[in-house]
Structure 1
Amino acid sequence: MERFRLKNPVLTRGLIAGLLAYLPTLPLLLGTALFSLGEVTLATPQPRIPDLGVESPLSRGTGSNSGFQGQSDRPIPLSWDNPELLLAIEGESATIQSLAFSPDGRFIALGGGRNDPRIEIWDLQQEKRIRHWRTYQNRVLALTFSPDGNTLVSSADGGAIEVWDVQKGELLHQFLEHRSNVLSLAISPDGRNLVSGGLDGIRFWDLENRQLIQVLLNLQPIYSVAFRGDGQLIAAGTHQGNIILWPVIPGEGTAIVGNPLPTSFQHDRGITTLDFTPDGDRLISGSFDATIKCWDLANRELLYTLVDHPSWIKSLKINPNGQLFASASRDGIRFWNLQTGEAMGFISSESDWAQAIAWYPDGLTLATGGLDRMVNLWRGGMGLNEDAIASDNP
């Protein structure tokens, strides 16, 4: 069953792109006549919404940000103290274990949980699922798109890493060198290399030629790996709570991983999730010890520690604007000021539903997925300084 549920009654099928791009005129659209036929909500709009072509339904009229490159091109940051639920996607998977947006924001990929290893691709422009297939594993633990958005890489608890054609839904290749659960994946910004972290260590791959280059920390459990935005640094978190950094050294044929850099980055328990800031100056880490830590990479020092979550950190993702990040745990989703660590918002959860989170590429929308098999898409409110910024930039 294919369902694209719109939680806000104004945001109806076929109108999402127009309405979200014209939020300032939203009060004029409240006269829209709505009626429901089964699971599909239809609308007769007044006035007519202009045709926005291929613009994504999650895009907002924020100027030039199509490439999502550079801080100056980012949309004005939103306030996340009271996020709004825009819409929800109901997948066929029993639970949602992993999420990923394509780099252009058109697609969102859903990975199923235990005993339902399904991958679904939803087209957010057409507002429908375009691909779905079952993998050869038990559950889908990690998903990541290639930088060009044409391929999707998945991993699972069977040890295989699978490379998929997004448009055709076809399996292109399997990497079978891991012998245990592969918990985390990251692709280099140029799309040439893949790093994978599993219970049997780290593997560094040539993604273009589909071959193994190096094995790191063999047989040591690794829960999270990440590439820095320039592709020149890899971070990994061990089950003992250590964070290890490796330089990536370009070569004539392919890159290789150099010797680990000396750091004292550590948690009391295993590292569950890692993410670099867009400028590459900081690294954020979450752990089984229920803390989040922010590290200064240049000075190799701890900047702050956050202890608000009552349980282990399942996921954290830095907003593409580089000013805030979101973290997921048993109590729900929390939003933080990246510079100071100040709490900026909270989405409460009465059940253990928050398994995976992902930012839409422009940073204005957060996707969350969990045990209720729903993917919820949240939008922040107007930032405190947005009016002042807008008045300075007529």
Structure 2
Amino acid sequence: MQGLSAATAAVTGAELAWATVLGESIAHIAWLPSGGLLLAGTADGELCAFQLDAEWKFRVQAHRQGITRVSPSPAGDCIATTGEDGGLLLWQAENGERLQTLARDQGWAEHLAWSPDGRILAGVAGSRIYLRDADGKISEWDGHPGNVTALAWAPKGSRLASATNKGVYLWNPRSWQPTRVLSFPGAAVSLAWSHDGHALAAGTQDGFLHIRLQLPGATPRQLSMSGYPGKVSSLSWHPKQLRIASCGGSDLVLWDLDAEKGDRRATPLRRHNHTLTTLAYAPNGGLLASADRNGRLCIWSADHRVAFEMELGSEITALAWQPGGHGLAVGSIDGVVRLFNLGDKH
């Protein structure tokens, strides 16, 4: 393995545990639920698994072209991937052996979502949703008016949300009949549920953030927020509060919502000078990570101050907090994967 750093180095209150070069741009990274294995998908189709000491668990050529998404099951026994080759595949987490092919050569496959109980895997290729049940049976649905651009399960698994041009649909797993619940003129590029399932947010290509709010027994409300200079490509809900972090330019914008009144309050956080590429709340919400096209990584504290920052020298393409919040994995366009240790600062 080609490494950049084997030793730890204190960096403004955090530690760089290790960094390694995979050779191609890092498209997506994710952790197994146990937090003991870090997964990375590359632009040349490799699926790589690292142990906490940076040693390989396995490294396989998963797709003929670039990987677009990596998603481990909630039980941590298997890993789903999608790729530019139109493949939707399932892998053994223990050794990287292929378990099942859900789809192959279906244009561009990009989105994956496991139900919270792990019984259903939903994946997207073009306008078609593929569903794999607990017995490995695969079914398909192809009724969207255009390509599916995002996918997300509600926290309790009662509904699956899918985004497309001009709207967001909700699916009931019992009937798989969709209902459109958000309507807007632009194309959605991001989708995320709040921790309690009361809010569903969609970011659009034309710089809007749309949120559907619904308390039990109440009439749904749709909130629409504008002012983003670019597409709202990344969203992250606070894991305990009705607060969402969003980006559609160089500013990180937090929205605090009042579900009963339908009110919202914006708090812009300014530290980046270039367009943000990704952001993510730590598992307990104490820290928020943001990254941009010029390679700046910032970690924000609960009082909205920068607790840590570093210039990595290359566009950051992926972030993933270790379950438990003790580590933050960072992938970049130059093919480097880094692991930062934050100790009890999470």
Provide the TM-score with structure 1 as the length reference. 0.63
- Indicate if the aligned counterparts of 1:232 and 1:248 stay in contact, CA closer than 8 A: yes
State the 1:132 CA deviation: 4.8
Q: Give the match for residue 303 of structure 1.
A: 267
Change in Cα spacing, 1:330 to 1:123, as seen in structure 2 (3 Å) is farther
How far apart, CA to CA, are the structure 2 residues paired with 1:333 and 1:131? Answer: 38
How far apart, CA to CA, are the structure 1 residues paired with 2:145 and 2:291? Answer: 28
Q: Give the match for residue 48 of structure 2.
A: none
Change in Cα spacing, 1:186 to 1:333, as seen in structure 2 (3 Å) is farther
How far apart, CA to CA, are the structure 2 residues paired with 1:232 and 1:315? Answer: 24
* SS at 2:221 equivalent: coil
State the 1:58 CA deviation: 0.5
How far apart, CA to CA, are the structure 1 residues paired with 2:131 and 2:62? Answer: 21
5 Å-filtered alignment, 1:295-374, equals 295-298=255-258, 300-308=264-272, 310-311=274-275, 313-332=276-295, 334-339=297-302, 340-342=304-306, 344-346=308-310, 348=312, 350=314, 354-366=316-328
**Residue 290 (str. 1) matches residue 259 (str. 2):** no
- Indicate if the aligned counterparts of 2:67 and 2:82 stay in contact, CA closer than 8 A: yes
Q: Give the match for residue 77 of structure 1.
A: none
Q: Give the match for residue 45 of structure 2.
A: none
How far apart, CA to CA, are the structure 1 residues paired with 2:3 and 2:244? Answer: 35
How far apart, CA to CA, are the structure 1 residues paired with 2:295 and 2:140? Answer: 34
Of the three residues 118, 141, 154, the one matched with 1:149 is 118
How far apart, CA to CA, are the structure 2 residues paired with 1:140 and 1:347? Answer: 32
How far apart, CA to CA, are the structure 2 residues paired with 1:333 and 1:122? Answer: 33
State the 1:369 CA deviation: 6.1
How far apart, CA to CA, are the structure 1 residues paired with 2:242 and 2:53? Answer: 31
* Gap regions ≥5 residues in structure 2: 7-32, 38-51
State the 1:280 CA deviation: 2.4
**Residue 128 (str. 1) matches residue 128 (str. 2):** no
How far apart, CA to CA, are the structure 2 residues paired with 1:294 and 1:331? Answer: 22
State the 1:236 CA deviation: 1.5
How far apart, CA to CA, are the structure 2 residues paired with 1:109 and 1:227? Answer: 21
- Indicate if the aligned counterparts of 2:251 and 2:268 stay in contact, CA closer than 8 A: no
Provide the TM-score with structure 2 as the length reference. 0.71
Change in Cα spacing, 1:197 to 1:322, as seen in structure 2 (3 Å) is same
5 Å-filtered alignment, 1:229-240, equals 229-240=195-206
- Indicate if the aligned counterparts of 1:101 and 1:359 stay in contact, CA closer than 8 A: no
Q: Give the match for residue 187 of structure 1.
A: 153
5 Å-filtered alignment, 1:232-271, equals 232-248=198-214, 258-261=220-223, 264=225, 266-271=227-232
State the 1:152 CA deviation: 1.7
Deviations 1:54-78 (A, max 9, x none): x94707xxxxxxxxxxxxxxxxxxx
* Gap regions ≥5 residues in structure 1: 11-54, 60-82, 387-394
Larger Rg: 1
How far apart, CA to CA, are the structure 1 residues paired with 2:76 and 2:298? Answer: 21
How far apart, CA to CA, are the structure 2 residues paired with 1:153 and 1:306? Answer: 36
Q: Give the match for residue 36 of structure 2.
A: 58
Identify, as 1 or 2, the structure richer in strand.
2
How far apart, CA to CA, are the structure 2 residues paired with 1:149 and 1:193? Answer: 14
State the 1:204 CA deviation: 1.6
- Indicate if the aligned counterparts of 1:193 and 1:205 stay in contact, CA closer than 8 A: yes
